[in-house]
Amino acid sequence: MQTAFITIELPLPQTPADIHPAIEAQLKTHGTPLRWSITRITTTETQRIGQIEAIVTTD
């Protein structure tokens, strides 16, 4: 197993209930999420972009 620090940017769903699964799904493309946080949100005219920092594990 290895641990890796990653950062991603993700358009956040409008519905709060959809935010967590959207982030987990995106992080899973990099590994198994261990710990993460949205650190900042940038709002444009059409969407909110979340900056997410995370530790994932890979085999």
Partner 1 sequence: MLPYTVMLIVPTGIGASIGGYAGDALPTARAISQVCDRLITHPNVMNGAQLYWNLPNVLYTEGYALDQFAAGNWNLRPVHSNKIGLLIDCGTEPDLITRHLQAADAARATLGLTLTDYVLTDEPLNVSLKRADSGATWGTIGNPDSLLRAAEKLIHQAGATAIAVIARFPDDVGSEALSNYRQGHGVDPLAGAEAVISHLIVRQFKIPCAHAPALSPLELDPSISPKSAAEELGHTFLPCVLVGLSRAPQFVEQFVDKVDLSGNLQLRNNQTQPQTQSTDIHRDQVNALILPESACGGSALLHLSQTSTQIITVRENTSRMQVSPADLGINALSVQSYLEAIGTLVALRHGINPAALSPKIDPIARFSHSFIMKP
Residue 47 has phi, psi (to 5 degrees) of -155, 170
* Position 19 contacts partner 1 (CB under 8 A): yes
Place of tokens 């409008």: 14
* Position 31 contacts partner 1 (CB under 8 A): no
Q: What does the angle CA 16 – CA 23 – CA 50 come to, to the nearest 5 degrees?
A: 75
Among 5, 29, 44, 45, binds partner 1 (CB under 8 A): 5
> Which residues bind to partner 1, rule: CB under 8 A?
1-5, 7, 12, 14-17, 19-20, 34-41, 43, 48, 50-53, 55, 57
